[in-house]
Chains A and B, each alone.
Chain A
């Protein structure tokens, strides 16, 4: 077996953003389901939270491939 431990590390670090994205959209769906008219307020917040979580995941991806 051969490979690099970087990818194992990336796999572990991707768990965090995955859970974060799940939580963000769970809360967003909950909010919209309880109060449909709040959608316009919640949507930008959900998107920004998604962007922040996703940026960390992509950060990990880039670092896993570049750092030696």
Chain B
């Protein structure tokens, strides 16, 4: 990662976080809807998505 476009890196980090929460939270929301559970899969999906996207950010920007 070139150090001169930090601004672009910050925006793409935010994009990764949003899509991680959206995708895995959405899958959890769908499972809740399907199995008639109350928000358990949704919350789990959100945590999973946040974890996965932070891992992805580390892979893209954190590795030396």
Interfacial residues, chain A to chain B (CB-CB below 8 A)? 39-40, 43-45, 47-48, 50-52, 54-55, 58-59, 62-63, 66-67
Interface bin, chain B: 20 to 34
Within the assembled complex, what's the spacing in Å between the Cα atoms of A38 and B63? 15
Within the complex, what minimum Cβ distance (angstroms) separates B38 from chain A? 10
> What are 12 A-B contacts with C-beta separation under 8 Å?
A43-B61, A44-B63, A48-B62, A51-B16, A51-B17, A51-B53, A51-B57, A54-B13, A54-B14, A55-B21, A55-B54, A59-B50
Within the assembled complex, what's the spacing in Å between the Cα atoms of A2 and B1? 47
B9 within 8 A of A: yes
Judging by beta carbons under 8 Å apart, are B13 and A58 in contact? no
Judging by beta carbons under 8 Å apart, are B57 and A47 in contact? yes
Within the assembled complex, what's the spacing in Å between the Cα atoms of A39 and B9? 15
- Given contact pairs A50-B13, A55-B53, A44 touches B64 in the complex (Cβ within 8 A): yes
Judging by beta carbons under 8 Å apart, are A48 and B57 in contact? yes
Choose among B9, B39, B42 the residue that contacts A47 (Cβ–Cβ < 8 A): B9
